[in-house]
Structure 1
Amino acid sequence: MSRGFVKEEDQEEIPMVAPRADLPMGATNYVTDKGLLQLLNEKDNLMMDKKSTNLENEKEQRIAINLINAKLQLLNERISSAKVVSLVDQPKNEVRFGAIISLLIGDAKTPKDFQIVGVDEANIAENKISFLSPIARILISKKIDDVAVLQIGKTDRTFKVLGIRYS
């Protein structure tokens, strides 16, 4: 039946789902083992939410389930495209995906550690940066004592690699 013949109050709202972290078209969805596990746990949580959704209003129930289904669809696409990078196989003396890098940034006196991870794992509060970020891109292939320079506006910010580890 055409939507034109449905009462206005019976029409369901299409849930708006926030997009996942940006992964440019054609970019490989690299993840660490932990990153894939996080995605799978997120899927399990959404599935449990879907099963436990029990609203008295039938329309609100459908909208809630449609929202969860939309999130699951985006998540399943991300999981199916995930390519796990084995950190054991990464070169120990070079910055690559998954590396935890100890950096001296600019004129700072104390180093700061960052890990290069997949886009879904990236979280600056946890010092995890996406492999697609400008900082990660300038650090890839660097070795201990190398200095990478990132131009931010008219200013150059330097990053000296003090340590590299994988865990």
Structure 2
Amino acid sequence: MSSAFLKNETADAPVVIPARAPLPPGVTNYVTPRGLTLLRDELTDLESEHAHLQAREENDENERSRQLALLNGRMANLNQRISSAKVVDSHPQDEVRFGATVVLKTKTGKSPGTERRFTIVGVDEANASRGFIAFTAPIARSIQGKRAGDTVSLRTVQGEEMLEITAIRYDEIDRKELAKLKSD
């Protein structure tokens, strides 16, 4: 039987560090000010968890060592992401760029007239269910540089969709929203 199906891990099994959201090769790690704050807060949380685990006495020293190795790997990945982050904080107010909140209205397809709202953010900040789309996503790439009133074509699973940009805005996310996002 494959070890992938076994619940019990052996002490010598390698520690698997979960990967962060991938950045395409050669692409700058753009982040919003909010995104950098979230990354730093995540690192603070991991460091606190690491210190707590180090101070705790554990019956199973192998398990404790595995957990510390996992935290060390996650912190190393996060430190790398933070050190490569380039904060984007200024924008032309009349066109879609990184950090823009955009409202799109479907012109064609299964549900014409439907509006979608999302904010273009960094890959670590992306959460489609909350309306945060990575700047590397096809929909974000297709509207970059466009203005309100422009129509863009987007290829979807259902076919070609025509979308009109009805609104563009840039504003800072407030502290209350930031705390809510961190708790999820």
1:110, CA displacement in angstroms? 4.2
> How many Å separate the matches in 2 of 1:151 and 1:110?
16
* Correspondence for 1:144 among 148, 173, 180: 148
1:64, CA displacement in angstroms? 0.5
Are positions 1:125 and 2:129 aligned together?
A: yes
1:52, CA displacement in angstroms? 1.1
Where in structure 1 do 4 or more consecutive aligned residues deviate above 6 Å?
A: none
> How many Å separate the matches in 2 of 1:154 and 1:25?
29
> How many Å separate the matches in 2 of 1:116 and 1:79?
19
Structure 1 stretches lacking a partner, 5+ long:
1-9
Partner of 1:27: 27
Once superposed, what is the RMSD of the aligned Cα atoms?
Answer: 1.8
Aligned pair count? 157
Partner of 2:61: 58
Q: Is the 8 A contact 1:13 1:63 kept in 2?
A: no
Partner of 1:43: 43
1:158, CA displacement in angstroms? 1.8
Partner of 1:14: 14
1:109, CA displacement in angstroms? 2.9
Report the residue type matching 2:163 in the other structure. Answer: F
> How many Å separate the matches in 2 of 1:78 and 1:22?
11
Structure 2 stretches lacking a partner, 5+ long:
1-9, 172-184
Report the residue type matching 1:78 in the other structure. Answer: R
Report the residue type matching 1:68 in the other structure. Answer: L
% same residue: 38
Q: Is the 8 A contact 1:148 1:158 kept in 2?
A: yes
1:25, CA displacement in angstroms? 1.4
Q: Is the 8 A contact 1:117 1:131 kept in 2?
A: yes
> How many Å separate the matches in 2 of 1:130 and 1:18?
19
> How many Å separate the matches in 2 of 1:143 and 1:164?
8
Q: Is the 8 A contact 1:29 1:82 kept in 2?
A: yes
> How many Å separate the matches in 2 of 1:150 and 1:22?
23
Report the residue type matching 1:96 in the other structure. Answer: R
What TM-score comes out, normalization by structure 2 length? 0.80
Q: How does 1:59-138 map to 2 (within 5 A)?
A: 59-86=62-89, 89-106=90-107, 107-138=111-142
